Amino acid sequence: MKAIALNETDIQAQLELVPNWQYDTNSIVREYIFNDFVEAFGFMSQVAMLAERANHHPEWSNVYKRVTIKLTTHDCAGLSQLDFALAHEIDQIGKTGAR
C-alpha cells in the first residue's frame, strides 16, 4: 500500500500526539539522551526491530549517549501516518531510559 502524504492540518493534529518531536519541513525529529552508550545502543536495537516490522526505517545518528531520529516518508516526499505511528511506538520504548 502506497503511503499518502499528510496535509498541514493533519500534520499539526498528529504533532499534538507526539509532542516531543519537532516538525522540520518534510520530517519529524527527536533527540534521545541516555545514561551511556550501551543504553543508547540498546534503544537503537529495539527501534530497529520496530522499524523493520513496519517496513519504515528512520534516518538516525548516534554519538555516545545521544540518539537523533528523523522520520519522513520518501515514497510520498513528506510525512505520512507511518511516520507518526512509528514516532509513537519509539516514544513508548524511549520512556524507559531516555532523558
**pLDDT confidence band for 22 (50 / 70 / 90):** very high
Is 3 within 8 Å of 80 (Cβ atoms)?
yes
Tell me, yes or no, if the pTM score tops 0.75.
yes
Q: What local confidence, expressed as pLDDT, does residue 99 receive?
A: 64
Domains (ranges, CATH) in the chain?
22-94 (3.30.1360.20)
Is 13 within 8 Å of 84 (Cβ atoms)?
no
**What is the C-alpha to C-alpha distance for residues 69 and 33, in angstroms, rounded to an integer?**
11
Q: Is 10 exposed, middle or buried (0-12, 13-18, 19+ CB in 10 A)?
A: middle
pLDDT in tens, 34-88: 999 999 999 999 999 999 999 999 999 999 999 999 999 999 999 999 999 999 9
